[in-house]
């Protein structure tokens, strides 16, 4: 059994080298950097004005009321379907082996539940997903000139072959009566009861990714703070 602790904060394309060892790297706290996680965006026109989408992603300190650092992501969903994600290769696993992937992650958001927004709720209509795949998740232009993922993450509230929905960014630790849109609080999401598997390649590597799939046509900004993953060989 391999246990992965991953700290995430959605953000801009950033690459930091992963450490190599005989055992897969399993702890990602982001106290000193993004630790090999790379961010990206999809489900928007390739020729879109980047300024109106307000895309941003980086490793940064959590808001003042919270301790530590995380991966930060933000975007204005002008396309009615914006996807923001972070990805990372996990290496030193058994080669050509199918693994089950169980995930618990901590996310900092500034949105309480029960709000109404353009196209959907700013909380309940922004879906958090976790995925795993043999091939590296990437973006490619489709026939309409939109950036799309090369893995099947599903769409908005539905998962896909390579991803499951673990919740939304609606934060139960924020009071809708007093929330000011500036204060962030942490909440925990997990994949208990969900089926997520991926097969390693010939070198014992697979890819994991986390992200948000938005049906809210406004600005979303959040931090991925920690993630715990358990990888078990199927039938092992």
Q: Which residues 6+ apart lie within 8 Å of 230 measured at CB?
A: 1, 2, 3, 4, 101, 102
2-233 maps to which CATH number? 2.60.120
User: What integer pLDDT is reported at residue 127 of this predicted model?
Assistant: 98
> Measured between alpha carbons, how far is 70 from 48 in angstroms, rounded to an integer?
28
User: What integer pLDDT is reported at residue 236 of this predicted model?
Assistant: 72
pLDDT tens string 85-99:
999 999 999 999 999
Higher local confidence (pLDDT), 17 or 137: 137
- Residue 29's pLDDT band, with cuts at 50, 70 and 90, is confident
What is the gyration radius of the CA atoms in the chain, in angstroms?
A: 17
Helix (H, G, I), strand (E, B) or coil at 53: helix
Q: Which residues 6+ apart lie within 8 Å of 235 measured at CB?
A: none
**Taking the domains of the chain in order of start, what are their residue ranges?**
2-233
User: What integer pLDDT is reported at residue 50 of this predicted model?
Assistant: 83
């Amino acid at each position: 059994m391999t246990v992965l602790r991953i700290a995430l904060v959605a953000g801009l394309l950033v690459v930091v080298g992963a450490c190599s060892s005989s055992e897969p790297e399993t702890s990602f706290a982001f106290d000193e950097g993004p630790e090999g996680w790379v961010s990206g965006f999809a489900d928007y026109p390739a020729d879109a004005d980047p300024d109106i989408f307000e895309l941003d992603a980086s490793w940064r300190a959590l808001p003042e009321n919270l301790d530590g650092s995380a991966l930060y992501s933000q975007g204005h969903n002008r396309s009615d379907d914006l996807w923001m994600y972070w990805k990372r290769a996990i290496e030193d696993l058994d080669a050509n082996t199918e693994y089950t992937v169980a995930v618990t992650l901590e996310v900092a958001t500034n949105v309480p539940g029960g709000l109404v927004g353009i196209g959907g709720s700013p909380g309940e209509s922004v879906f958090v997903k976790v995925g795993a795949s043999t091939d590296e998740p990437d973006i490619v232009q489709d026939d309409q000139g939109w950036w799309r993922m090369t893995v099947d993450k599903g769409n908005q509230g539905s998962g896909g072959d390579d991803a499951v929905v673990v919740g939304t960014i609606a934060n139960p630790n924020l009071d809708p009566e007093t929330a000011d849109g500036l204060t962030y609080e942490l909440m925990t999401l997990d994949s208990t009861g969900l089926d997520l598997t991926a097969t390693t390649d010939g070198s014992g590597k697979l890819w994991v990714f986390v992200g948000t799939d938005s049906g809210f046509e406004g600005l979303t900004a959040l931090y991925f703070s920690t993630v715990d993953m358990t990888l078990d060989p199927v039938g092992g």
